[in-house]
Amino acid sequence: MPESCEALWHGEPVRLTRTEFELLHCLLQRHGPVVPWAVLLHEIWGYGPDNDVESIRTHVRHLRAKLEPDCHRPVHIKTIYGIGYCLDLPLDAAAGSAVGTGRLAGRLALVGESPRRRA
């Protein structure tokens, strides 16, 4: 597990819980398209698709409070009702493959590596 779970948001460090870090990492890997609840449940918690999604909603709410300008009207972490969530940030044209580097429009970068992906 990394020493700290944080993101750089507009160049400023934002402390994240391990679960928020994992959630953001999962959304960053699939930037743009909808990430179904089943995928989030499986990749972050190891649950099957029939499990309750309330834990996802709670962690997304906390993540929005840290990253969104107005967490009640999210523009970056969008809910696709009945399906899941999508991360909507413009790609930085100068960065090329921005998703691979974890940087989007110079605004967002994860610090450390995903805790569950380490050997």
pLDDT band at 1 (very low <50, low <70, confident <90, very high): very low
Assessment of whether the complete model's pTM goes beyond 0.85: no
Q: Are 19 and 6 in contact (CB under 8 A)?
A: no
CA angle 55, 61, 65 (to 5 degrees): 150
Report the distance separating Cα 43 and Cα 25, nearest Å.
Answer: 10
CB burial class (10 A; 0-12, 13-18, 19+) of residue 88? middle
Question: What's the confidence (pLDDT) of residue 59?
Answer: 94
| The pLDDT of residue 50 is above 70 | no
Lowest mean pLDDT of 52-56, 88-92, 93-97, name the range. Answer: 93-97
Average pLDDT, the chain: 79
Q: How many CA atoms lie within 13 A of 109 on its CB side?
A: 14
Place of tokens 């993101």: 7
Report the distance separating Cα 22 and Cα 26, nearest Å.
Answer: 6
Question: What's the confidence (pLDDT) of residue 14?
Answer: 92
CA proximity to 7, closest of 22, 85, 16, 92? 16
Q: What is the CATH architecture assignment of 6-117? A: Orthogonal Bundle (1.10)
Type of residue at 28: L
